[in-house]
Structure 1
Amino acid sequence: MPSRVNAIEAAPGGPDSAGAAPSGVASASTPDSDRLQAFIERYGADQAATMHAATVVLGDRLGLYAALAAHGPCPPEDLAEATGCHPRLLREWLNAQVASGYTEHDPAGGTYWLTPEQAACLADAASPNYLIGGMLAASSNHKDVDALARAFTSDGGLGWGGHHPDLYVGTQRLFGPVYRANLVPNWIPALEGMQARLESGARVVDVGCGHGEALIRLAEAYPASRFAGFDNHVASIEAARTAAAEAGVSDRVTFEVATAEDFPGRDYDLVCVFNALHEWGDPVGAARHIRRTLAPSGTWMFTEPRADDDPAESVRARTFYSVSTMVCTPSALAQGAEAALGAQAGQAKLEQVAGQAGFTRFRRAAQTPMFMVLEARP
């Protein structure tokens, strides 16, 4: 039987046919040795990071990062006593963290600890730099591979509610620190006249509210205003109601099941959409409905991932094209989208959506390294 390489060489349309690889690109049968080694090393690093990710999710679930931050430098046996975990497994887990730069280690003393920076990212849920939720959301993608394979070979659709539950919890824990660090201190003041309106009493809606994290932050900051959150995912609405009650803002925040095309109400001062527009099957139709619900002087604020004009190697692009493949674009296709926006739609395409919906003013009001805050007005 011929080898796979020989079969490729002999196949019509292979490297020696009119469909040959572009000039400067090695053919499949003759890889450049230096470029091959570079790719192998990159793949190996990605494989190691993917394997390490599971230890991060495990460490979070068992409270290991928090315990390590609270205890200070200690041997595995002390961490085992504090957490009720097996000391031999803890030693292996700790060494995995050292190998990835997630903990510090003194080989002579046999102790392990977190630096203040590591603790802020891995152990302190109140920190604006807390990152654990992202790894939990990433972990959910691997659990959804079978469902995505079915989507790829059928109509392309997988609705938001069809994913592993880790996605919803991970998303809330990932975006919560972003909202705490930016929403009230930076994003609201960047909107024209909005801070004063919220302080005096405004009507606010969050469409695609998820677990309600952003709306609860706004309700805490602006008690004179009234807030309503809508999402088509029943479990998320239930979680949002619980979170609002725990935060003590249920007197001014409500959460109901509704879609972006049919959520109720009129004359809202502010409609918010946080990283959800690109997941909707009819973003222009949803934007039209948002415009109809706004007061004449109202504002639509929505956040979307920052994007380059074309795919380029970067952490941001790798993250968002991957999550768009696994979550965002299948969600839009499940809602009947003909040409889903995807998580890397970019500002120009989003401005086009707003214009088609009847908004006449559009600008980027603020941004973070990963997200842009867009303001549209009638």
Structure 2
Amino acid sequence: MSSATIATPQIDGAKLHDFMLKAVGDMGASMHGVLILLGDRLGLYKAMADSKPITSTELASRTKTSERYIREWLNANAASGYVTYDPATKSYTLPPEQAVVLAMEHGPAFLPGAFEIVLSCFNDVDKIEEAFRTGKGVGWHEHHHALYHGVERFFRPGYLMNLTTNWIPALTGVEQKLRDGAKVADIGCGLGASTILMAKAFPNSEFYGFDYHDASIAMAREAAKREGIGDRLHFEVASAKNYPGKDYDFVAFFDCLHDMGDPKGAAAYVHSTMKPDGTWMIVEPYAEDATEGNLNPVGRVFYTASTMICVPASLSQEVGAALGAQAGEKRIGEVVTAGGFKNFHRATQTPFNLVYEARA
């Protein structure tokens, strides 16, 4: 071994200081995520949703919780910018903008479900560490149960805001087919939020939701019963390459194609189950084709989720293509056309999603 001195990189003190502040901010955000979960579970944000000032004593009384814990929780939320604090009255307020995000579960911007996904990631860190070492996958069904509820609650607001009002109308002739009466398959339906929303919007159509995860299908069936639409909505355990039925007018994949081990095989199977004039809608996370185009706050979330959930899911299956959540339009298009579809294009988009239309 050489005895030569290894040169130490010169440190820029100002850059070090700025990065430390960033890291401390990330540390605070990570820890505060737990308090968001508690606020959601205990109904604390909902109890403040009127955006009127409230003291820790009043909030504790309103939610039947301990005042001392509530006081500390409120101060953490005030330090994080989630609530405001008035020192003159020692009261706290949840501003209306924060209330939309934190308290209005059926609104367009509800976010606490995302922190359930974060909870599952922390619970699954040992499994993912082992996957890093071995290169093996971790199946969707192997994750902490918080993932399934978190994903459903996180994606549902986007579906409520866009699915029947923007995404489906952007597809060629699909909305009219659904109004007249169509046969629809929702693949990778999870807990059924997307399937149920479509079934309620288009009562003349028949809907089939498929997912390989039996526990999710059981919860989807219960949700359909609660909505009173079980007669037109059928949930079954099946994968993207063996779901039953033929002659579908419309097939939908919501944020799941990139998770699949064999997405090209799935595309070919979809092609084989559709009517000649059928449409396949593929909803994917927003992504540019070039890596550098995704190095932003949204890309940060999606790349992190992809590391913990999407790539492990794909690597646990046959082929293991591991497209990742930031696959981009070019790679998705290659998958779709390899499955036999001749027409593929971006139909519409949001800041968080790309919506593709594929036709035979």
Range of TM-score over shorter length = over 0.9
Shift of 1:136: 1.4
The alignment partner of 1:269 has SS state of strand
* Matches of 2:3 and 2:73, distance apart in 1: 44
* Structure 2 CA distance for partners of 1:270 and 1:8, relative to 1, 3 Å: farther
* Matches of 2:243 and 2:33, distance apart in 1: 38
Q: Paired residue for 1:373, among 346, 355, 360?
A: 355
The answer on whether the counterparts of 1:199 and 1:222 sit within 8 Å (CA) in structure 2 is yes
Shift of 1:61: 0.9
* Matches of 2:68 and 2:175, distance apart in 1: 54
The alignment partner of 1:298 has SS state of strand
* Matches of 1:242 and 1:49, distance apart in 2: 35
Q: Paired residue for 2:102, among 115, 119, 122?
A: 122
Shift of 1:70: 4.7
Q: Which residue of 2 aligns with 1:191?
A: 171
Q: Paired residue for 1:353, among 315, 335, 352?
A: 335
* Structure 2 CA distance for partners of 1:93 and 1:295, relative to 1, 3 Å: same
Shift of 1:338: 4.0
The answer on whether the counterparts of 1:9 and 1:29 sit within 8 Å (CA) in structure 2 is no
| Larger deviation, residues 257-266 vs 29-38 | 29-38
* Structure 2 CA distance for partners of 1:30 and 1:55, relative to 1, 3 Å: same
The answer on whether the counterparts of 1:270 and 1:298 sit within 8 Å (CA) in structure 2 is yes
Deviations 1:231-265 (A, max 9, x none): 00011000100111111111100000000110011
Please tell me the residue identity of whatever aligns with 1:316: V
* Matches of 1:39 and 1:291, distance apart in 2: 49
* Matches of 2:175 and 2:332, distance apart in 1: 24
Q: Which residue of 2 aligns with 1:13?
A: none
* Matches of 1:106 and 1:154, distance apart in 2: 53
TM-score, normalised relative to structure 2: 0.96
Shift of 1:198: 0.3
The alignment partner of 1:69 has SS state of coil
* Structure 2 CA distance for partners of 1:262 and 1:106, relative to 1, 3 Å: same
Q: Which residue of 1 aligns with 2:21?
A: 41
Shift of 1:313: 2.9
Please tell me the residue identity of whatever aligns with 2:83: T
Shift of 1:83: 1.1
Matches within 5 A, 1:205-244: 205-244=185-224
Q: Which residue of 2 aligns with 1:201?
A: 181
Q: Paired residue for 1:94, among 74, 92, 115?
A: 74
Q: Which residue of 2 aligns with 1:112?
A: 92
The answer on whether the counterparts of 2:51 and 2:96 sit within 8 Å (CA) in structure 1 is no
* Matches of 2:15 and 2:237, distance apart in 1: 52
* Matches of 2:5 and 2:291, distance apart in 1: 31
Q: Which residue of 2 aligns with 1:23?
A: none
Matches within 5 A, 1:32-181: 32-70=12-50, 72-181=52-161
Task: Please list every run of 5 or more consecutive structure 2 residues that lacks an aligned counterpart in the other structure.
Answer: none
The answer on whether the counterparts of 2:51 and 2:94 sit within 8 Å (CA) in structure 1 is no
Please tell me the residue identity of whatever aligns with 1:228: Y
* Structure 2 CA distance for partners of 1:268 and 1:45, relative to 1, 3 Å: same
The alignment partner of 1:74 has SS state of coil
Deviations 1:53-111 (A, max 9, x none): 11101111111101122583211011111111110110110011111111122110111
What is the percent sequence identity of the aligned residues? 45
Q: Paired residue for 1:320, among 289, 302, 307?
A: 302
* Matches of 2:315 and 2:68, distance apart in 1: 47
* Structure 2 CA distance for partners of 1:356 and 1:265, relative to 1, 3 Å: same
Shift of 1:183: 0.2
Deviations 1:26-79 (A, max 9, x none): xx6322222222221211111111111111011111111011225832110111
The answer on whether the counterparts of 2:260 and 2:320 sit within 8 Å (CA) in structure 1 is no
How many equivalent pairs are there?
357
Please tell me the residue identity of whatever aligns with 2:358: A
The answer on whether the counterparts of 2:263 and 2:321 sit within 8 Å (CA) in structure 1 is no
The alignment partner of 1:263 has SS state of coil
The alignment partner of 1:363 has SS state of strand
* Structure 2 CA distance for partners of 1:104 and 1:71, relative to 1, 3 Å: closer
The answer on whether the counterparts of 2:184 and 2:249 sit within 8 Å (CA) in structure 1 is yes
* Matches of 1:282 and 1:218, distance apart in 2: 27
Please tell me the residue identity of whatever aligns with 1:346: G
Q: Paired residue for 2:324, among 316, 330, 342?
A: 342
| Larger deviation, residues 251-260 vs 106-115 | 106-115
Q: Which has the larger radius of gyration?
A: 1
Shift of 1:9: 5.9
Deviations 1:254-283 (A, max 9, x none): 000000110011110000000000000000
* Matches of 2:109 and 2:264, distance apart in 1: 34
The alignment partner of 2:134 has SS state of coil
Q: Paired residue for 2:239, among 252, 259, 281?
A: 259
The answer on whether the counterparts of 2:137 and 2:314 sit within 8 Å (CA) in structure 1 is yes
Please tell me the residue identity of whatever aligns with 1:42: K
Please tell me the residue identity of whatever aligns with 1:335: Q
